[in-house]
Amino acid sequence: MLRFFRYIRKNLMEQQKMKSYIFYAIGEIFLVMIGILIALQVNNWNEKRKELNLANNILGQLQTTIANDTLVLNSQLIMFENMITETRWVIEQFENDAPYSPRMDTSLAVISAFSITEADYTAFNYLENVGIGIIEDQELRDQISTYYAHSKLMQQVDEYFEVNKYFRQVIYPKFFKRYRYGRYVKPVDYQALKISDEFRVVVDMCLNDASYYRSMINAQKERASEILTAINRKLNL
């Protein structure tokens, strides 16, 4: 093709057809520019396709990790529901001046046995390293960022209040003679335990915290569900 163009150019120059040569030169420049533009367009398309494939790959990873997070959230929700039930029962027993019962040993162990498990940040950290802007959907980006921000918030609240730690370090050694974490405790003096203001306050704290975390986890589950729905829709497109 280049040889053909050179032949035409040479022939026009030899025949001294300057006007025709100028038109030919302009046409040749135009064709070269068209070729360059097409090449750039193809390159841009290839880069766009690579970005899209990478974004879909990351969305697939997020889909897996958030789905796994949901299983953990379900487990934690059951834990806090159980804590609330047992804590309310203990408060009711104390308020009614009820006599000691074997269930009390289990209930008093359960009320403080909780922990917060953060989300799996593997896929999200990868997304941040790549650049969250690779996900074009602004709403989906905001949903993902909010989800992981709230996971950190729950962990920070847990670390701030440290009710579980206070029970293990202060309450159980002070008021109990036997202790199996989350399973069994034995009061030193049940009657004294019932009228202790200190113990009643921390029991109330456990109920407040468990109710708060239950609300937070339910909200986090809703966020996870919305993200998974949006990702499914995105990947199916």
202-213 pLDDT, tens digit each:
999 889 989 999
Q: Token pair for residue 131?
A: 């650049």
| CA distance linking residue 176 with residue 171, whole number of Å | 8
Of 69, 62, 66, give the one whose Cα is nearest residue 128: 62
CA angle 218, 219, 221 (to 5 degrees): 65
Helix H or strand E encompassing 36 = helix 18-95
**58 CB neighbour count, 10 Å cutoff:** 20
DSSP secondary structure, 204-217, as one string = HHHHHHHHHHHHHH
| CA distance linking residue 80 with residue 77, whole number of Å | 5
Q: Are 110 and 182 in contact (CB under 8 A)?
A: yes
Query: Cα-atom radius of gyration of the chain, to the nearest Å?
Result: 34
| CA distance linking residue 225 with residue 116, whole number of Å | 19
107-155, pLDDT tens digit by residue? 999 988 888 889 999 999 999 999 999 998 999 999 999 999 999 988 8
Q: Mean pLDDT in runs of 10 for the chain (237 residues)? A: 53 54 60 69 69 91 96 94 94 93 92 87 94 92 95 83 82 89 89 92 91 94 96 88
Task: Kindly report the pTM of this predicted structure.
Answer: 0.77
